[in-house]
């Protein structure tokens, strides 16, 4: 055989081998995808087991499989609040379900509105004579907001339960920027738009303190009212007024202190808790492991009960996360993506539209792109309702302006009607390094913006005029949409942040209510009676590989780091330290990566997804990394 023939035979063999390999990988992936999908056949008599590992969100983010596998980091689990509510409500009337169990061992939190909605569903299940039990090694504020609605709250004997209340500290970088000779040029309108204060001050201004204090005070009162109504025996004042004395009174035993204060009902390990559930829901016929009990998990149960599809279609568009330009999301509100969803829905013969907002805002241009797309539905005479979740502030309020009626909860954070921009220049840092900028300009704007030589007064004035004009447009838009004089809007604007109750008094929202209330209102406006309509969530599609990738990456990460970031007081403290790293990275990105005018409520509490972002997520690069490292010390 000639040399060329041998080479050709080798190449053919390599080709055949690669084809077989790719076919094998394809069928393995196909099997994994199919097996990862929820299977309604897994539902059986017993308990409904809801393992809240991770965070509760309005909209699940999309998992990038390549990034997840290459980073080898376990993504934070996400659970849609409405899925949990729907499952618990269905379980309340399902003869197969004997009890509802919430495993909060690795729960990381959720927004106050979402957790109150889940708590209300737990109350409805209890009213239907279905026991509701929770178990955790550590209970914090968000855990207790859920657990207070349970019929039995179990705590591991080595665990801890505490309630800290809202609030805390923010980081201020003015001193650091001065040391680095970085000039943070700030453009804003209003005394209360405190989003820029971390870059211009070393402490909170009196105006910001007064506004945020009022907001947190209202949220705290709402929290206390919800928890104490659900759990009257809880000695909340004792737990929060002097926690050191409370713990000392129990001899330093934090689990015992939690039991005595009424935070929990039972102390027991997982095996003892499981035995109790087995008494209520039945033993697991397939397992003899300690603590095993008959149960159906959340995803298969949701797949089994399905969703109503009959009657008129009420569209729901979700605006969740920071509003940004482009196609980002779900989990981030990409303006172009959401506008395209809305425009595509114009051909779907929707009877009405509900805009669900759970966002602190962001890009003004993206917010306006979304607002215009919603307005196109109004122009077609389609009824439009707006439902606020945990946060609908700044740009999150901007997008609500085409709505005929705005629904919010008392614990909703809204307002923040204001805009700002922060642009860093490095003339001071350059001079320290011996770099100077010089040249010839024909006009005051020649060569501007100059990030090394600095901005001319004309450039500064131009930026500030742009901010002022956008703010006036924002106020005028609100005044027109809400049917009130501009001066009344101005009194509630200037970046001030409000709780839902105050916002209703100010006329920024119309009535209290959740998503279901907004859907019912929209259906009524469309002439659909109760039971003659169903919700259609625009753009919603299940990523078939998502569950599989999460399982693979999570299993690998758990094998490399078997100790979970939960449990005793010190483990919970370590989780807070991880959150601090994420906060520093976010603040650095906001300074050095901001594009365009921002209608963003940076002073609002961080969303669960932001607060628990893994350290590997969106790591800053270049100058951003230097600033984040310096700020982190």
Express each pLDDT in 231-244 by its tens digit: 999 999 999 999 99
* Same-domain pairing of 226 and 276: no
The answer to the question of residue 23 being in a domain is no
* Same-domain pairing of 290 and 413: no
The answer to the question of residue 316 being in a domain is yes
Quote the CA–CA distance of 313 and 533 in Å, as a whole number: 6
Report which of residues 588 and 410 the model is more confident about.
410
Instruction: Indicate which CATH number applies to the domain containing 484.
Output: 3.90.226.10
- Reported as a single tens digit per residue, the pLDDT across 316-341 is 999 999 999 999 989 899 999 999 99
pLDDT at 393 over 50: yes
Print the domain residue range for 528: 170-230+309-426+451-556+570-633
With b meaning 16 or more CB within 10 Å and e meaning fewer, what string describes 87-108?
A: bbbbbbebebbbbbbbbbbbbb
Rounded average pLDDT over 166-174? 88
Domain termination residue (choose one: 305, 329, 364) = 305
* Same-domain pairing of 75 and 157: yes
> Does residue 102 contact residue 150 with C-beta atoms inside 8 Å?
yes
Active site residues: 193, 394
Per-residue model confidence (pLDDT) at position 617: 42
* Same-domain pairing of 313 and 352: yes
* Same-domain pairing of 273 and 418: no
Per-residue model confidence (pLDDT) at position 431: 87
For residue 352, the cross-strand partners are 314
Band of residue 621 on the pLDDT scale cut at 50, 70, 90:
very low
* Same-domain pairing of 285 and 326: no
- Reported as a single tens digit per residue, the pLDDT across 23-75 is 766 655 555 554 455 555 578 899 999 999 999 999 998 776 666 666 666 67
The answer to the question of residue 463 being in a domain is yes
Rounded average pLDDT over 555-566? 46
* Same-domain pairing of 226 and 278: no
* Same-domain pairing of 356 and 493: yes
20 to 250, 592, 604, 612: CA distances (angstroms): 66, 49, 54, 42
The answer to the question of residue 597 being in a domain is yes
- Reported as a single tens digit per residue, the pLDDT across 338-385 is 999 999 999 888 999 999 999 999 999 999 999 999 999 999 999 999
pLDDT at 13 over 90: no
Structurally, how many domains does the chain consist of?
2
Band of residue 307 on the pLDDT scale cut at 50, 70, 90:
confident
Per-residue model confidence (pLDDT) at position 631: 38
* Same-domain pairing of 476 and 586: yes
Quote the CA–CA distance of 323 and 308 in Å, as a whole number: 30
- Reported as a single tens digit per residue, the pLDDT across 124-161 is 999 999 999 999 999 999 999 999 999 999 999 999 99
Picking from 419, 537, 523, the residue whose alpha carbon sits closest to that of residue 478 is: 419
* Same-domain pairing of 300 and 372: no
Q: pTM of the full predicted structure?
A: 0.86
For residue 440, the cross-strand partners are none
The answer to the question of residue 522 being in a domain is yes
> Does residue 142 contact residue 223 with C-beta atoms inside 8 Å?
no
- Reported as a single tens digit per residue, the pLDDT across 85-105 is 999 999 999 999 999 999 999
* Same-domain pairing of 216 and 319: yes
228 CB contacts (<8 Å, ≥6 apart)?
234, 236
């Amino acid at each position: 055989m000639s040399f060329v023939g041998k080479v050709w035979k080798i190449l053919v063999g390599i080709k055949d081998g690669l084809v077989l390999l790719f076919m094998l990988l394809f069928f393995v992936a196909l099997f994994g995808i199919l097996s990862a999908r929820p299977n309604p056949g897994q539902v059986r008599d017993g308990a409904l087991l809801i393992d809240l590992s991770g965070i509760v969100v309005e909209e699940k983010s999309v998992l990038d499989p390549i990034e997840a596998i290459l980073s080898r980091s376990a993504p934070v689990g996400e659970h849609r609040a409405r899925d949990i509510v729907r499952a618990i409500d269905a379980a309340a009337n399902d003869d197969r379900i004997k009890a509802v169990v919430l495993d909060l061992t690795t729960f990381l939190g959720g927004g106050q509105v979402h957790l109150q909605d889940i708590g209300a569903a737990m109350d409805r299940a209890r009213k239907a004579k279905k026991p509701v039990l929770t178990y955790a090694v550590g209970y914090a504020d968000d855990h207790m907001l859920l657990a207070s609605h349970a019929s039995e709250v179990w705590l591991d004997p080595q665990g801890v339960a505490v309630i800290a209340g809202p609030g805390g500290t923010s980081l201020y970088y003015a001193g650091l920027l001065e040391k680095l000779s970085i000039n943070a040029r700030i453009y804003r309108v209003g005394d209360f738009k405190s989003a820029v204060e971390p870059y211009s001050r070393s402490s909170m201004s009196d105006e910001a303190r007064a506004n945020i204090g009022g907001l947190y005070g209202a949220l705290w009162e709402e929290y206390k009212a919800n928890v104490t109504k659900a759990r009257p025996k809880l000695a909340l004042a004792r737990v929060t007024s002097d926690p050191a004395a409370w713990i000392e009174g129990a001899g330093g035993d934090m689990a015992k202190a939690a039991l005595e204060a009424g935070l929990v009902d039972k102390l027991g390990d997982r095996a003892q808790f499981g035995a109790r559930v087995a008494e209520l829901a039945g033993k697991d016929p397939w397992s003899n492991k300690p603590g095993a009990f008959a149960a159906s998990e959340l995803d298969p149960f949701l797949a089994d009960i399905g969703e109503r599809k009959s009657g008129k279609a009420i569209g729901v568009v979700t605006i969740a996360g920071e509003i940004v330009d482009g196609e980002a999301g779900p989990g981030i509100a990409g303006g172009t993506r959401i506008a395209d969803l809305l425009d595509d829905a114009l051909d779907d013969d929707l009877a009405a539209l509900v805009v669900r907002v759970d966002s602190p805002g962001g890009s003004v241009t993206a917010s306006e792109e979304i607002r215009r797309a919603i307005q196109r539905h109004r122009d077609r005479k389609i009824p439009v309702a707006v439902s606020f979740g945990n946060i609908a502030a700044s740009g999150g309020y901007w997008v609500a302006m085409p709505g005929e009626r705005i629904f919010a909860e008392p614990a909703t954070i809204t307002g923040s009607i204001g805009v700002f921009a922060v642009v860093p220049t490095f003339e001071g840092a350059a001079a320290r390094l011996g770099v100077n900028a010089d040249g010839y300009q024909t006009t005051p704007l020649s060569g501007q913006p100059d990030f090394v030589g600095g901005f001319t007064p004309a450039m500064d004035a131009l930026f500030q005029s742009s901010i002022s004009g956008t703010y006036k447009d924002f106020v005028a838009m609100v005044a027109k949409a809400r049917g009130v004089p501009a001066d009344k809007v101005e009194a509630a604007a200037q970046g001030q942040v409000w709780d839902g109750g105050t916002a209703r008094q100010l006329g920024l929202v119309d009535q209290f209510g959740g998503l279901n209330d907004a859907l019912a209102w929209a259906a009524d406006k469309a002439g659909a009676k109760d039971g003659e309509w169903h919700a259609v969530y625009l753009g919603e599609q299940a990523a078939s590989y998502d569950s599989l990738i999460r399982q693979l990456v999570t299993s690998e990460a758990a094998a490399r780091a078997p100790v979970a970031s939960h449990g005793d007081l010190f483990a919970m403290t370590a989780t807070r330290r991880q959150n601090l790293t994420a906060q520093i990275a976010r603040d650095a990105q906001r300074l050095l990566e901001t594009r365009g005018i921002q209608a963003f409520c940076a002073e609002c509490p961080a969303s669960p997804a932001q607060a628990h972002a893994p350290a590997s997520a969106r790591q800053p690069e270049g100058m951003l990394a230097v600033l984040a490292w310096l700020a982190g010390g």
